[in-house]
């Protein structure tokens, strides 16, 4: 079974600074997908960024980027120019490739609570 580990339960960063959230995972699959989801106090789950394991290039979405190290099974999220609105829980998630019948479920880490301080 796949497992996802987020070793930092809580982190804080000053506004406009850069912060990196860590995530490691365990799998025997060669092809898979990785995600970072953001959960603000509103409780809504918001997709931040995704990475396909077969792509060597790290994904980037505006101020958010990942460092995907497939051999090390590491998938960290970097937030640049942190903003107060980035304050949220961040979840790392893993998904196996979908089957003929449909997509497979996500396996989540326990989350990292990020506070952005003015």
Partner 1 sequence: NAGVTQTPKFQVLKTGQSMTLQCAQDMNHNSMYWYRQDPGMGLRLIYYSASEGTTDKGEVPNGYNVSRLNKREFSLRLESAAPSQTSVYFCASSAASGGQYEQYFGPGTRLTVT
Q: Could you list the residues that contact partner 1 (CB under 8 A)?
A: 4, 9, 33, 35, 43-45, 47, 50, 91, 95, 98-99, 101-111
Identity of the residue, 14 or 44, whose beta carbon is nearer to partner 1 in the bound complex: 44
Identity of the residue, 4 or 79, whose beta carbon is nearer to partner 1 in the bound complex: 4
Distances (CA, A) of 117 to 17, 35, 44, 76: 10, 25, 22, 21
Q: What would the two tokens of residue 83 be?
A: 């903003």
Q: How far is the CB of 101 from partner 1 (least distance, A)?
A: 5
Q: How far is the CB of 33 from partner 1 (least distance, A)?
A: 6
Q: How far is the CB of 15 from partner 1 (least distance, A)?
A: 27
> DSSP letters along 66-100, please?
EEEETTTTEEEEEE-S--GGG-EEEEEEEEPPPBT
């Amino acid at each position: 079974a796949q497992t996802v580990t987020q070793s930092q339960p809580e982190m804080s960063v000053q506004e406009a600074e850069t912060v990196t959230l860590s995530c490691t995972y365990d799998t025997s699959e060669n092809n898979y997908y990785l995600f970072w989801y953001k959960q603000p106090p509103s409780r809504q789950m918001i997709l931040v960024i995704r990475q396909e394991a077969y792509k060597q290039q790290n994904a980037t979405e505006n101020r958010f980027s990942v460092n995907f190290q497939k051999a090390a099974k590491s998938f960290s999220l970097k937030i640049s120019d942190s903003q107060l609105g980035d304050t949220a829980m961040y979840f790392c998630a893993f998904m196996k490739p979908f089957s003929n019948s449909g997509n497979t479920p996500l396996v989540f880490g326990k989350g990292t609570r990020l506070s952005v301080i003015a």
